[in-house]
Amino acid sequence: MKLYTTWGSFRQGCSHARRSVKAGKKCIQADHRSCRWHGVCSDRFRRVISQADEATEYHTNRGPGEVLPVSVHTSYFGR
């Protein structure tokens, strides 16, 4: 089963494992809003993982799972 999470090299992961790309959209939008409110940019990207524990247990330099393809970023997340 595909799950979705977010991760950035500076801010690291959100620790959520979402069941759909649409649910991941809400998570990344909340992160972007929070960052804007604090006057910074989010470095997080959407990632595909296969197990929920990957959202919290990953190599800190590479992040969890795989980065979503660019077409998924732009069509679902506007980035």
Can you give the residue range of the structural domain that contains 64? Answer: 3-77
Q: Strand 3-8 relative to strand 12-13: parallel, antiparallel, unpaired?
A: antiparallel
Give residue 74's pLDDT. Answer: 47
Q: Mean pLDDT, to the nearest integer, of 1-22?
A: 86
Using an 8 Å Cβ cutoff, are 65 and 47 in contact? Answer: yes
Give residue 61's pLDDT. Answer: 77
The answer, as to whether pTM is greater than 0.95, is no
Q: What is the CA radius of gyration of the chain?
A: 12
| Helix or strand (DSSP H, E) at 25 | helix 21-37
- pLDDT per residue as tens digits for the range 16-66: 888 988 888 888 888 889 889 999 888 888 888 888 888 787 777 787 877
Beta strands across the sheet bearing 12-13: 12-13, 3-8, 45-49, 66-67
Q: Does residue 72 register a pLDDT over 80?
A: no
* C-alpha to C-alpha distance for 71 and 53, rounded to whole angstroms: 26
Domains: count for the chain: 1
